[in-house]
């Protein structure tokens, strides 16, 4: 499978995040991006959630494979930054990340974590669809909860573990 970027990301944003990212990048000589991708619009906005989309003709297995490759690279970059900005000796990144996949209007949520033997997929859950009103409401509810997770869990974790070269609270 050729390497491709995923379609969408939910990223941290805000002046404090951008400033902390830019400050952190000054101490990280290995990349000009806080993420594992050098895509300019998100290079100083840490990726919290990745989203892969496929049409009806697209394969959900292909989407999962692409998300797996992307998540593996993402976790490797997080591990690299966390290792440089903290005194923790564990090799695994201490956070489980949600990733979303949509195929033909059906949305699936997968949780991935950095395990001892690489990326581990924890659970796959159907989270709604855009084919019906009820499915759309279910999906919107999940997306709202993921937005809360980004602010309440991922943001503090990123500030402490990835962007720790600056003391932002």
Edge to edge, what strands does the sheet with 118-129 contain? 8-11, 47-54, 97-103, 106-115, 118-129
38/142 Cα distance (integer angstroms): 29
More confident residue, 27 or 100: 100
* Structure-block tokens of residue 100: 């979303």
Sign of the dihedral through C-alpha 83, 87, 90, 95: negative
pLDDT for 80-115, tens place per residue? 888 744 444 455 778 899 999 998 899 999 999 887
pLDDT for 125-148, tens place per residue? 999 999 999 999 999 999 999 999
Q: pTM value?
A: 0.83
pLDDT for 29-47, tens place per residue? 677 888 888 888 888 899 9
Q: Which residues contact 114 (CB under 8 A, 6 or more apart)?
A: 75, 78, 79, 92, 93, 120
Is pLDDT of 53 > 80? yes
What average pLDDT does the segment 2-25 reach?
Answer: 84
Alpha carbon dihedral 126, 149, 81, 169, in 10-degree steps, equals 180
- The mean pLDDT of the chain is 83
**What pLDDT does 166 receive?**
44
């Amino acid at each position: 499978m050729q390497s491709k970027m995923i379609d969408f990301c939910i990223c941290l944003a805000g002046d404090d995040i951008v400033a902390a990212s830019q400050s952190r990048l000054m101490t990280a000589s290995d990349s000009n991006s806080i993420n594992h991708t050098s895509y300019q619009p998100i290079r100083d906005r840490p990726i919290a959630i990745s989203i892969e989309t496929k049409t009806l003709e697209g394969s959900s297995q292909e989407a999962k494979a692409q998300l797996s490759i992307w998540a593996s690279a993402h976790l490797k970059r997080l591990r690299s930054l966390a290792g440089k900005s903290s005194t923790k000796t564990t090799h695994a990144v201490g956070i489980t990340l949600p990733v979303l996949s949509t195929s033909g209007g059906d949305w699936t949520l997968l949780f991935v974590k950095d395990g001892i033997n690489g990326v581990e997929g924890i659970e796959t859950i159907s989270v709604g669809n855009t084919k019906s009103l009820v499915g759309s409401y279910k999906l919107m509810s999940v997306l709202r909860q993921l937005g809360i997770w980004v602010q309440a869990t991922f943001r503090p974790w990123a500030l402490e573990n990835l962007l720790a070269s600056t003391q932002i609270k």
